[in-house]
Amino acid sequence: MSQTEVKTEYWRWPEYRNTAPNVNWNNAKAITAGVDIGSVGSKAAVLVDGELYACAAMRTGGVSEATAVKVIDWALEGTGLEIGKLNYVVGTGYGRVNVPFAKRTITEIACHARGAHYIYGPTVRTVLDIGGQDCKAIRCDDKGKVLSFLMNDKCAAGTGRGLEVFADLIRVPIREMDKVSLDVDQDPPPVSNTCVIFAKAEALALLRQGWSKEKVAAAYHIAMANRIVDLLSRVGVEKDFVITGGVAKNMGIVRRLERILNIKPLEPRMDPILAGALGAGLFAKALYEKEQGLR
Amino acid sequence: MRAHYGYKDGSGDYFIIVETDKCNGCGKCVEACPYQVLEMVPNEFDLEGNPMAAVREEHRKKIKYSCAPCKPVAGERKLPCVLACEPKAIEHSW
Amino acid sequence: MITAGVDVGAKYAKVVILKDGQVIARAKALVGFDLLKSATDVFETALKDAAISRNDIQRVVATGMGRNTVVQKPPINADEAVSEVVSAAAGAHFIVPTTKTVIDVGAEEGRGIKVESGKVKDFVINERCAAGAGTFIETMARALEVQVEEMGPMALKSVNTIPMNAQCCVFAESEVVSLIHSKISKEDISKAIHDAIAGRISSMVLRVGVEKDVVLIGGVALDPGFKSPLEKELKANIIVPEYPEYVSALGAAVVAANPTR
């Protein structure tokens, strides 16, 4: 480590890769992959006959094509597979058009619905995806087919980015924001401004008035949850309800959503941030099988 | 399938909603819009991929401003896209 | 007759003192967390500049986001409060009697007003979103690491049109950073920023209709890079009066002088 001061980046979340220990690709009929290039995070999921085998999640770099290659290479690391061995790859997400090795791109809405069914099961009817720079609400049927959707990627409020701004403001690492926001005896009134810029100014005034950072974090989490519920109400919420995307791991948001909606979201059996990539990988399997069927 | 195009920000909710089950792909709304806000795209949500109306990518994040000229503060409100649609598949949330 | 207008804005408090139809003092200062104190300090500065005391003023009218904080509160003791739309219309009409359209862009709100003989006929407000007001330009100035006063002159030097994709102040900030990394000049970026906000404001103004004479007021009117993209979008000539940031306060003083309005 050098002597120079390392600037603590409060908004950075950890990157990782993983291989499922009980899955192997030796006799696989279809080895497919989904790559989800988000504006903040990029994810890759490799599936063996429709079951998750390897995955990786990393921050999206400046050039989407390079990130796409990086994330799939990282997912494949140590598996003995390389891009050429993949039977079919589907790209999705904000930068989905920038996955050079993908055979097709499919809208992130459809991929998220499909991926949510994989992660949470066939009872899923409402998917809420809170990503780094957008917020999506999806209603689907028992097959994961989309019945209604809404996406907001114009406004930072209600997205991970809003949380990052606040994490930076109160100097709390983004991973701990939820814990900090729940560390209050009683939920304070929410910040009154939806706009992140105005909310930040409001929060500064509150801090100056003597509010603790826990209280400010709580006030913002509640405001964010209220806004998300507003968006959700446009498509309607039907059980079972699930949350995907990076912010799904923020218990400060999840607990408040539960309270307002009076519905408990299902517990994920794996990292919900992978929903888009998983769904894309599943679409890749279906498309590959269709292709093979035609031959 | 109800496709909501637009956003919600501090100043309000702005969504153009296309009911794709009702949309017959006629494209009259696209022609009627004076500002090229709409376009026909293949439906990515079902296997057939039939054409359906959608808001152009570049307008989705500023739909409030794109549609502003058709929403005068005073006088009668006539939305050309809504009026042109026979199956009533398109609506505005504001 | 001496009247005063106090405009307690989101960023600045402005005071104008009017004597028999002539402006005898103008003062402004940044507002702090205590709005009443900030407004009072500015008011007292204006009194000193005019060499008068509060007792010499027959009526005081307040306007702006913080207007209610100074009504019946000493020493300002404003007699009434009027909305920004009313004061903007009155002030613009006072300076340009042929005003039919007023565009008022402040730190946190943008307003389009249809005016008939100084009275409000229709209006539209762009509020609660930083991308639609002066805060947008200020935030981008920070991202470009320049003073906000430099933004306009920089934009005027640009010769290239670069579109901005982000419609949100927070996302635009990131976009500006990536534009800088792509070696786009700060002049071109500043022009893109001005084009973006001019596009938003002009769309809103179209909702009340554009009829000449069109007058631009508010703090953002001080930005020389804002007028030209706005004129281009609205396809109309725009008049920017002297001291545009004071026009609303002046309008409040005018309203104070005509209580039967």
From chain A, the residues in CB contact with C139 under 8 A are 197
Render pLDDT for A183-229 as a digit per residue (tens, 0 to 9).
Answer: 999 999 999 999 999 999 999 999 999 999 999 999 999 999 999 99
- Please answer yes or no on whether C181 and A162 come within 8 Å at the CB atom: no
Render pLDDT for B22-77 as a digit per residue (tens, 0 to 9).
Answer: 999 999 999 999 999 999 998 877 666 789 999 998 999 999 999 999 999 998 88
Between CA A35 and CA A43, with CA A37 as vertex, the angle to 5 degrees is 55
From chain B, the residues in CB contact with A152 under 8 A are 7-8
* CA end-to-end distance (rounded Å), chain B: 20
Kindly state whether A156 is in contact with chain C, defined as any CB-CB distance less than 8 angstroms: yes
ipTM attached to this prediction = 0.92
Assess if residue A33 is contained within a domain. yes
Candidate from A133, A194, A197 with C-beta closest to C169: A197
pLDDT above 90 covers a percentage of chain C that reads 97
Does residue A198 sit in the same domain as residue A166? yes
Supply the pLDDT for residue A65.
Answer: 87
Which of C115, C167, C169, C175 best tests the B interface by mutation, with the highest count of B CBs <10 A?
Answer: C167
Closest CA to A52 of A295, A234, A267, A282: A282
Domain with A58 in it = 16-118+273-294
For residue B46, give how far its alpha carbon lies from the nearest alpha carbon of chain A (Å). Answer: 8
pTM for this entry:
0.90
Candidate from C127, C128, C207 with C-beta closest to B71: C207
Number of domains present in the structure of chain A: 2
Render pLDDT for A254-286 as a digit per residue (tens, 0 to 9).
Answer: 999 999 999 999 988 888 889 999 999 999 999
Render pLDDT for C64-88 as a digit per residue (tens, 0 to 9).
Answer: 999 999 999 999 999 999 999 999 9
pLDDT above 70 covers a percentage of chain A that reads 94
Which 3 state secondary structure label does DSSP give A276? helix
Closest CA to A243 of A259, A266, A219: A266
Q: Residue C87 and residue C70: Cα distance in Å, rounded?
A: 16
Which residues, including other chains, have CB under 8 Å from residue B27's CB and lie 6 or more apart? Answer: B40, B51, B53
Does residue A203 sit in the same domain as residue A287? no
- Residue A21: CATH number of its domain: 3.30.420.40
Candidate from C127, C129, C203 with C-beta closest to B68: C203
Assess if residue A6 is contained within a domain. no
Supply the pLDDT for residue A4.
Answer: 39
Domain with B16 in it = 2-92
Q: Residue A30 and residue A281: Cα distance in Å, rounded?
A: 11
Does residue A215 sit in the same domain as residue A281? no
CB pairs under 8 A between A and C: 35
Q: Are A132 and A76 in contact (CB under 8 A)?
A: no
From chain B, the residues in CB contact with A110 under 8 A are 44-45
Which residues, including other chains, have CB under 8 Å from residue A249's CB and lie 6 or more apart? Answer: A178, A271, A272, A273
Other chains touching C, judged by 3 or more CB pairs under 8 Å: A, B
Of the listed ranges A138-152, C137-151, C182-196, the least confidently predicted one is A138-152
- Please answer yes or no on whether C209 and B66 come within 8 Å at the CB atom: no
**Chain C residue closest in CA terms to A162:** C170
Supply the pLDDT for residue B6.
Answer: 95
Supply the pLDDT for residue A294.
Answer: 65
Does residue A54 sit in the same domain as residue A100? yes
Q: Residue B66 and residue B62: Cα distance in Å, rounded?
A: 6
Domains and their CATH numbers in chain C: 2-86+246-257 (3.30.420.40), 97-240 (3.30.420.40)
Does residue A215 sit in the same domain as residue A284? no
**Chain C residue closest in CA terms to B11:** C128
From chain B, the residues in CB contact with A150 under 8 A are 4, 15
Beta-strand pair C2-8/B38-42:
unpaired
Render pLDDT for C191-224 as a digit per residue (tens, 0 to 9).
Answer: 999 999 999 999 999 999 999 999 999 999 999 9
- Please answer yes or no on whether C206 and B69 come within 8 Å at the CB atom: yes
For residue C1, give how far its alpha carbon lies from the nearest alpha carbon of chain A (Å). Answer: 40
